[in-house]
Structure 1
Amino acid sequence: MITVFQYPRLLGIPNMSPFCLKLEAWLRMVGIKYDIREVADPRKGPKGKLPFIKDDELEIADTSMIIDYLKKQHSIQIDDHLSASDRAIALAFERMLSEHLYWALLYNRWVDDNWVKTKEALFSTLPAVLKGIVPAVAQKNIKNELDGQGMGRHSREEIYDFANQDLKAISDFLADKPYLMGDKPSTVDATLYAFLCNILEVHLRSPMKDYLHKCKNLLAYNERMGQQLFPDFFKLDESDEAWSTEH
């Protein structure tokens, strides 16, 4: 059994890091058993980031690299039904979510009006002497990352416009399909669910959340995936089928 090292469960969702949630969602999709070790400091990871896994004595970091490793180790076939063209499209959506929408999500929590709630969720257990120092340093580092990536150099309105363009593209492509790439789930669904959950299910204001409430197919997708994958967090209606790796 592998051990997953990830952030503590906060804000009422399985994980407030879309990358940690992506990994755990994928593990549940493919039926790999795992243990969780909660880690508050990402610097403890082999690449200074979370999540990472330990398989016996082998440590692997970066969600995509972890998934690629586990696919080979366990002969996982969740993406085998995808054509070459499908794989290219799925990869493009993966990159859009992880390398573009992610930065708008980061801005929403660490810079915009939600910073007070984010600070309370992440740093409330710090000793009093550190509460005035650590959050300020962490926020400054995030702002520097946002500026370095480029998203932080735009206005608030521009940032959310970029994000909502991403969400519109996803909604348009999903249309009335049960999963992003068709009738069967694939790895990209773990990524998409992780981001939708982190926007829709946390009690934080967001123009992205406002926009998603206009996208009925993404609302239904998020609810369906949450009930299937995390019934321990989101109540499973009697009319819904439990998740099966045979789907």
Structure 2
Amino acid sequence: MITLYSYPELFGVADNNGYGLKVFAFLRLAGLPFTHEHIFDASAAPRGQLPYMVEDGETVGDSAAIIAHLTLKHALTLDAGLTPAQRDTALLVTRLLDDLYWVMSYSRWKDDAFWPAFSAALQREHPSLTDEGLQKARAFNFQRYHYQGIGRYDPEATYARGLADLRVLANLIPAEGYVFGPKPTSIDAAIYGFIANIYFFRIETPLRQFVMAHENLVRHCTAIHAAIGCGDGSIPPSRV
């Protein structure tokens, strides 16, 4: 049995991190049975990063490596029909999502305009989290942002970068179907992992405002959400 270890859910999304949700969606689309363990502590993970998976005593970290491993081991056909050009496009989009990740994370942990709402949501849905623990996590993320570079940007420049990423996705995703046709592939799972973590989060960042204004992004996100058995794509009401 496959066990996926990733961050906990938030706002009704199965993982509040784009990479873990990407793997979750891939597993559901591929029809592989698995158990999902939600954790905050990544110290036992390969390279200290979530998500990771364990199957038959073998541990694999990194979302792309997990998908490649499962595809080979289980002879999965989700991407079997892709052309070389489509595979190249999928890789380019994957790298773009890596860039979008930093802006999404910045909007939650660093931007003082949205940090109070994000931290309150975390504590509301996960009462074991303490103010002290969240402040330590925030300080750690500040260091990550500084060394990565995004932490040296002001908010306006940061969001300009993320909106440029989202604009590419809005231009790529069709009004009907999925990125490469009528059936979803792994790149649709990857895009969902990040867009769902913007769309379903009831925190009005510039990223969410952009997504809400583009019907094709919302349609794609809610279609994958329904396809993997997570609901009809409607946004649950706020809890106070």
- TM-score when scaled to structure 2? 0.90
Does structure 2 conserve the Cα–Cα contact (< 8 Å) formed by 1:6 and 1:52? yes
Q: For 2:198 and 2:230, locate their aligned partners in 1 and report how far apart those are by CA, in whole Å.
A: 19
Q: CA deviation at 1:40?
A: 1.8
The CA RMSD over aligned residues, in Å, is 1.8
SS at match of 2:179: coil
Q: For 2:21 and 2:37, locate their aligned partners in 1 and report how far apart those are by CA, in whole Å.
A: 14
Q: For 1:210 and 1:182, locate their aligned partners in 2 and report how far apart those are by CA, in whole Å.
A: 27
Match of 1:125 among 124, 127, 152: 127
Partner letter of residue 214 of structure 2? C
Which consecutive unaligned segments of at least 5 residues does structure 2 have? 235-240
SS at match of 1:134: helix
The one-character-per-residue Cα deviations of 1:3-43 (angstroms, maximum 9, x if unpaired) are 11122222221111111110110000010000112212111
* Residue matched to 1:170: 169
Q: For 1:138 and 1:162, locate their aligned partners in 2 and report how far apart those are by CA, in whole Å.
A: 24
Partner letter of residue 29 of structure 1? L
Deviates more, 1:17-26 or 1:182-191: 182-191
Q: For 2:158 and 2:106, locate their aligned partners in 1 and report how far apart those are by CA, in whole Å.
A: 8
* Residue matched to 2:88: 88
Q: Give matches, 1:124-163, under 5 Å.
A: 125-126=127-128, 131-163=130-162
Does structure 2 conserve the Cα–Cα contact (< 8 Å) formed by 1:13 and 1:233? no
- TM-score when scaled to structure 1? 0.87
Instruction: Report % sequence identity.
Output: 27
Does structure 2 conserve the Cα–Cα contact (< 8 Å) formed by 1:200 and 1:209? yes
Q: Does structure 1 residue 31 correspond to structure 2 residue 28? A: no
* Residue matched to 1:239: none
Q: For 2:174 and 2:41, locate their aligned partners in 1 and report how far apart those are by CA, in whole Å.
A: 39
How many residues were matched structurally?
231
* Residue matched to 1:196: 195
Does structure 2 conserve the Cα–Cα contact (< 8 Å) formed by 1:109 and 1:118? yes
Does structure 1 conserve the Cα–Cα contact (< 8 Å) formed by 2:5 and 2:37? yes
Q: For 1:213 and 1:230, locate their aligned partners in 2 and report how far apart those are by CA, in whole Å.
A: 22
* Residue matched to 1:5: 5
